[in-house]
C-alpha cells in the first residue's frame, strides 16, 4: 500500500469565507472545505481533514491525511486547480510528513478527534424527545418521525431505546446514559480491532449541535473527544488513520490527531 502522509496547510479565514460565500456553501464550513480542497487538489485527495482555529484568530491550520506527497499535490493544483480555489488554498504553503506504515501493538497514545456521532436507523424509532417535541411545535411529523434510514444522534438513540416514553425524573446512577458515555461507546466501536479506547482517560471536550447540508439541511451532534488509546493491530490502525472515523469524513470529521500519552 502507498505511503500515508500528514499535511498541514494554513488558511486565511477571511479569504476562505469570501470564497465560500461566492460558491454558495458558506452555511456549512465542512462542505465549503470539501469543495475547496476538491477544486484545488482533486476529489478525495485530502481526506479526512480537520481545520484548527484558535479563538479570535484570523488564520487557521488545516490538517489532513493523504496518499500523495506534497509535490504531487502541488502539481495537481497547478494542472487542474480552479484559480479562485488555489488562491485560497495556496499549494506552495503545504508541509508534509510521512506517517508510519504500521504501528507497534501495545503502543499507548493520546488523541484529539472531532466526530459526528450518529447512527443510521435500520428500523423506525419511536419515542419522546425534545427534538421530536420541537418538530411537533413546528407542525412537522409527529411521534415516530425517526424513520428507517434516518441519521440520528447516538445519544438520542440510546435514550429513546431505554426510555421510549421519556426520561424518568431520577435516572439510576449506573444507567450510563450521559452524552459523554454514549459518545465514548460510539468511538470505541469505530476503533474496531485497530485500537482499544481507554475509557477512563477519554472525555467530551466540546459539544454543540450544528446544521450540515447534505441534500438538504440536517441538524445533528458535533463533538470533540480528547483521550487515550492502545493500539491492538498496527496495520489496521494505519488504515484507520487513512480512512477516518464514522460518517462525514469528507467534511471535516473523523481525523485522529495523535500525541504522546500523559501530556
Spell out the domains of the chain, with CATH numbers in brackets.
5-98 (3.30.70), 108-260 (3.30.70.1210)
Cα–Cα–Cα angle for 209, 210, 215, nearest 5°?
Answer: 135
Higher-confidence position of 68 and 158:
68
- Region of residue 212 (phi > 0: left; psi between -120 and 50: alpha; otherwise: beta): beta
Report the alpha-carbon angle 105-107-113, nearest 5. Answer: 110
Task: State the average pLDDT over residues 243-260.
Answer: 96
In angstroms, the CA 201 to CA 30 distance is 28
CB-based contacts of 79, cutoff 8 Å, min separation 6? none
The answer to whether residue 79 scores a pLDDT higher than 60 is yes
pLDDT in tens, 49-67: 999 998 888 999 999 999 9
Mean pLDDT is highest, among 112-116, 123-127, 138-142, for 112-116
pLDDT band, residue 44 (cuts 50/70/90): very high
Cα separation, 118 vs 31, in Å, equals: 18
Cα 98 to its chain centre, rounded Å, is: 22
163-171: average pLDDT? 62
> For residues 28 and 130, which has the higher predicted lDDT (pLDDT)?
28
**Overall average pLDDT of the 162-166 stretch:** 70
* More confident of the two residues 170 and 18: 18
pLDDT over threshold 70, residue 244: yes
CB 77 within 8 A of CB 91: yes
Amino acid at each position: 500500500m502507498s505511503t500515508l502522509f500528514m499535511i498541514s496547510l494554513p488558511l486565511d479565514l477571511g479569504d476562505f469565507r469570501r470564497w465560500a460565500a461566492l460558491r454558495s456553501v458558506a452555511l456549512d464550513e465542512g462542505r465549503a472545505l470539501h469543495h475547496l480542497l476538491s477544486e484545488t487538489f482533486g476529489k478525495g485527495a485530502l481526506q479526512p481533514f480537520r481545520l484548527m482555529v484558535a479563538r479570535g484568530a484570523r488564520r487557521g491550520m488545516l490538517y489532513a491525511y493523504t496518499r500523495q506527497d506534497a509535490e504531487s499535490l502541488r502539481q495537481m493544483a497547478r494542472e487542474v486547480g480552479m484559480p479562485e480555489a488555489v488562491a485560497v488554498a495556496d499549494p506552495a504553503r503545504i508541509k508534509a510528513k510521512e506517517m508510519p506504515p504500521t504501528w507497534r501493538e501495545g503502543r499507548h497514545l493520546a488523541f484529539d478527534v472531532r466526530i459526528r456521532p450518529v447512527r443510521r436507523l435500520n428500523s423506525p424509532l419511536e419515542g419522546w424527545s425534545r427534538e421530536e417535541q420541537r418538530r411537533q411545535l413546528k407542525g412537522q411529523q409527529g411521534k415516530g418521525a425517526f424513520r428507517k434510514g434516518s441519521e440520528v444522534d447516538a445519544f438520542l438513540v440510546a435514550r429513546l431505546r431505554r426510555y421510549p416514553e421519556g426520561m424518568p425524573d431520577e435516572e439510576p446512577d449506573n444507567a450510563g446514559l450521559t452524552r459523554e458515555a454514549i459518545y465514548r461507546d460510539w468511538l470505541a466501536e469505530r476503533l474496531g480491532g485497530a485500537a482499544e479506547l481507554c475509557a477512563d482517560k477519554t472525555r467530551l471536550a466540546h459539544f454543540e449541535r450544528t446544521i450540515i447540508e447534505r441534500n438538504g439541511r440536517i441538524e445533528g451532534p458535533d463533538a470533540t473527544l480528547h483521550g487515550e488509546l492502545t493500539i491492538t493491530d498496527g496495520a489496521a490502525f494505519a488504515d484507520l488513520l487513512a480512512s477516518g472515523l464514522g460518517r462525514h469524513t469528507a467534511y471535516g470529521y473523523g481525523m485522529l490527531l495523535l500525541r504522546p500519552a500523559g501530556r
